[in-house]
A and B are shown apart, each in its own frame.
Chain A
């Protein structure tokens, strides 16, 4: 079942680091471009990483983003230290957001982040413990590519 890992990279993302927001997703997209991945898969990986990264910047203290590539799929796992999400079902509703007005002003916090990640990926998992942190896992399959 477990396919050989071709590539694994880990990145750190820090809360409130709006300056660097988007850098991790850009870096992952650059790696995938170098590999000559299908643009559609790169775009999906970009959306998933970007939305997860923004959630960290907006709400958490810090997080590790782990990107793993196998022959069959690429996956992105974001594990953060932060406030956690009290109601997962509510957080998954489109348009639900606890973002501040400032964040909305910057073009974020429309309550589409987590729903977008789920929509864009082939497999999605969300776990959270209030007061400790949140884990988001998303997988995109390669079928369309080869």
Chain B
């Protein structure tokens, strides 16, 4: 059985079997059988496409709550830059930091330094890389999982440099345990995340190691509390302002989807957003058509991390705010630069272990048996209509053929072969309307 942890669950009693999530899933991980959707954990890449597709509220994201923080002695929030673009004007970065502190955090870590450190490490990695090309950024956990599941031949092209949030987690444990003289285990580094996928990348990292971070809260989990606390904060007379929260533009730019374009010369760099576009580009890479491209920065969300599924603000408003904030900030400030210069030679930024393809169930049987199943599936596919209507409960005829070959479905699930199936669908549909 699979031991992959995922950030979603499908509540069976709420599911109306409408097929929408099945159609939205880019890795064809979902099947609807007996009027209920279920997903194959081996194939799920945590992209979250199913979440907005579900109109009956049956698919829910599993998240931490603020309560979970209480088991740690010292709690550090590591907010994604996206958080700072979510609020109405008038709620400043300073208010947001204060709000997080009121929520129960003991400190808020701005990881601008880590972002710059990782940019440098990536630049060095790209410059020393001998091939195969193009290299693929690992900033988006969905992209990493897509490669593991659907493009396993390309895993070596994933850049083996840790994301900035992981470097931040390590530094937080090191620094606060020294300053406060407590054990690193008593310190929680909690990422305030724009998406579910980053939560999963922390609970179950793709390279099968332990994350330096301890958990996540979604931006949507802290949003209301921050807005509420702002009113309280404003009422405090002579409130001391905390240290300047955002010191340079690099921090904000990192989540706009083209954060790395500045470090790689542009004609060798491609920026791709949206999972269907990424699939097209990856198909071309597999076909050897992008040999002159050295670097692909891919983000599952159309608008980079600003459009993550746990964000609150309108994505275009967020981006506009970001651009306005960026225009008022220096590219780099002396304080951050000095820290980067100090830490870069001392730290290691590579992943502890390389990312490997995901082992998918079914590879245990013998080669000849597997070939037999594939040929059987081919023969079944010949007999199916090829309309990919999805009414059988599998997203394409090819998927149904494969399911039939392994005994997970029957050819009679196809409406072309069975009036019973149509009758059954009508009943499910009527039940769903009740």
Which of A's residues lie within 8 Å of B, judged by CB? 4, 6-7, 21-23, 25-26, 29, 31, 33-36, 39, 42-43, 46, 50, 54, 69, 71, 106-108, 142, 145-146
Number of interface residues of B (CB under 8 A): 23
Query: Would you list 19 pairs from A and B whose C-beta atoms are within 8 A, ordered by A residue?
Result: A7-B371, A21-B289, A22-B288, A26-B283, A29-B286, A35-B370, A36-B362, A36-B370, A39-B153, A39-B155, A39-B357, A42-B152, A42-B153, A43-B153, A50-B287, A71-B367, A106-B291, A142-B367, A146-B367
B256 at interface, CB cutoff 8 A: no
| CB-defined contacts of A33 to chain B, threshold 8 Å | 152
Residues of B within 8 A of A69 (CB): 371
Q: When the two chains form their complex, are residues A36 and B360 in contact, meaning their CB atoms are under 8 A apart?
A: yes
In the complex, per-residue mask of B94-111: 1 if CB is within 8 Å of any chain A CB, else 0: 000000000000000000
CB within 8 Å of A: which B44-83 residues:
none
- 8 more A-B residue pairs beyond the given contacts A6-B367, A21-B287, A39-B152, with a C-beta to C-beta distance below 8 A: A21-B288, A25-B288, A35-B371, A36-B362, A36-B363, A39-B153, A54-B288, A142-B367
CB distance from B223 to the nearest CB of A (A): 41
**Contact: A7 with B287, CB < 8 Å?**
no
- Which residues 383-397 in B have Cβ within 8 Å of A in the complex? none
Distance in Å: Cβ of A75 to nearest Cβ of chain B: 15
B351-386 interface mask toward A, CB cutoff 8 Å, 1 = contact, 0 = none?
A: 000000100101100111011001101000000000
Judge if B292 is at the interface, Cβ distance under 8 Å.
yes
Query: Which residues of chain B are within 8 angstroms of A35 by Cβ–Cβ distance?
Result: 367, 370-371, 374
B363 neighbours in A (Cβ, 8 Å): 36
Evaluate contact between A23 and B287: CB separation under 8 angstroms: yes
Is B368 touching A71 in the complex (CB atoms < 8 A)? yes
A69 CA / B374 CA spacing, docked (Å): 13
Q: List the interface of chain B (C-beta within 8 A of A).
A: 152-153, 155, 283, 286-289, 291-292, 357, 360, 362-363, 366-368, 370-371, 374-375, 377, 402
C-alpha gap A26/B287 in the complex (Å): 6
| A42 and B152 alpha carbons, distance in the complex (Å) | 9
CB proximity of B313 to chain A, nearest CB, Å: 40
Known: A39-B152, A142-B367. Contact between A31 and B289, CB under 8 A? no
- Least CB distance from A145 to B in Å reads 7
B367 x A25 contact (CB < 8 A): no
Per the bound structure, the CA–CA distance linking A7 and B372 in Å amounts to 9
Chain A's closest residue to B154 (CB) is: A43
| Chain A residues within 8 Å of B287, by CB | 21-23, 25-26, 50
Residues of B within 8 Å of A22, CB to CB, are 286-289
Which 7 residue pairs spanning A and B have beta carbons closest together? A22-B287, A107-B291, A39-B152, A36-B363, A43-B153, A6-B371, A39-B357
Closest to A44 in B: B153
A46–B286 touching, CB < 8 Å:
yes
